[in-house]
Structure 1
Amino acid sequence: MDDDARTGQDAAAPGAGTGREFHAHGCGEDGGSAAGRLSRRCALTAGGVLALAACGGGESAPTGTGSPSATSGGSEPAPDSGSTAEPEPEPEAEGSGEGAEPEPGAAAPDGEGLVRLSEVPVGSAVPAQAADGRGIVIAQPRPGVVVAYDAECTHKGCSVLVVEDEFVCPCHDSRFAVATGEVLAGPAPTPLVRVPVRVEGGVVVEGA
């Protein structure tokens, strides 16, 4: 067969070349009906891929608007507990400080008070000082009953000491009774000199 005859046969079979092109692209086979079915299948497949790509592209990343903001919608800050009003100064108690009235039983004004009655033991005595500066001894023989004497011993003028229920002279050991001032033992010749006192408001003061 010469060259002109082969060229005519190739031109008379166009479908054969078309089938090879479909096969080369993966969606074709030789034959007319098979090539049509495969073309529709490739079209459906391609359409599905495009649809999936469109659906996937339409999804957006979460914006995070669902979570509440840390600063939005919060409550107002609590008031500062450190800023409080300054306390008002408390008024001074009445009767305190200078010029306050003396409590009941305190020493009388103007030096009249000698000692509190509660400080004089019952059945004994305590030393004190008179308004003129003399030393005296104040005794409480019975509850509420007080007597006072000059503290000078009637022998040589030494100041007597209080020893339980007696006054004792440290110079020559003369002894005197607390309740009466009488001499219990010499050489003192006479009793102690009596000093008039009384009780006012629980305080022993001078005077009858």
Structure 2
Amino acid sequence: MSDTTRRSVLAGAAGITAATALAACGDDLDAPGTDNAAPPAAGTSGPAGGSSPSGKASSTAGNGAAAGIAAVADIPVGGGKIFAEQKVVVTQPTAGTIKAFSVTCTHQGCPVSKIEAGNIVCTCHNSKFKVADGSPAGGPATKPLTPATVKVENGRVVLG
């Protein structure tokens, strides 16, 4: 077999492998912006405005930047929301403090699927992570969820 033919075969195999891997990375979470959890209890929505992952207030009022993925008021205080399309879970551990984490569980890579009782839950093996900092709160996971960069602009949660 010539080098050109080997390269063609290897390149084709690599493309098939990549496509298969990407298809396997899909998840069964609902549409973007859904949290797959019971609605928050009355009075759990926080005020508009917020903070960066460090807990410090951020604002770029008037710049008309990104529309964001949700209003701060839509993220329940003491809970959060899962955004499947963006592969991020956004939490508001205390009023005005916004945090974000990867939806990928650190135990075996399943996507987290619900938020309950102050915990982000991966139902694959029942790992639980604290909404305040993503640290393990139960189950087989021993490493925290990977933090995501988030800020608040004009009362909206913006990734990046």
TM-score, L = length of structure 1: 0.43
CA distance in 2, matches of 1:139, 1:167: 9
Return the match for 1:171 from 87, 112, 124: 124
Percent identity (aligned):
38
Q: Superposition pairs for residues 1-208 of structure 1, below 5 Å? A: 113-129=68-84, 133-160=85-112, 161-207=114-160
RMSD value, Cα:
2.1
Map Cα deviations across residues 147-203 of structure 1 (whole Å, 9 max, x no partner). Answer: 000011001111112123101111101111010100011311200000011111100
Counterpart contact for 1:115–1:128, Cα < 8 Å: no
Paired residue secondary structure (1:194): coil
User: How much does 1:134 deviate?
Assistant: 3.8
Residues 67 and 156, structure 2, Cα contact 8 Å, conserved in 1: no
Distance of 1:169 and 1:199 partners within structure 2: 26
Deviation at 1:109? Answer: 6.7
Structure number with higher helix proportion: 1
Cα shift at 1:128: 1.7
4+ residue segments displaced more than 4 Å: 108-112
Gaps of 5+ in 2: 1-48, 50-62
Which residue identity is paired with 1:143?
A
- Return the index of the structure with the highest Cα Rg: 1
| 2:141 match: secondary structure | coil
Q: Deviations over 1:93-148 (max 9, x none)?
A: xxxxxxxxxxxx9xx9776511100101111101125xxx5411100111111000
Q: Which runs of 5+ in 1 are unaligned?
A: 1-104
Kindly tell me the number of residue pairs found equivalent between the two proteins.
98
Q: Which structure ranks higher in relative contact order (CA pairs < 8 Å, sequence separation ≥ 6)?
A: 2
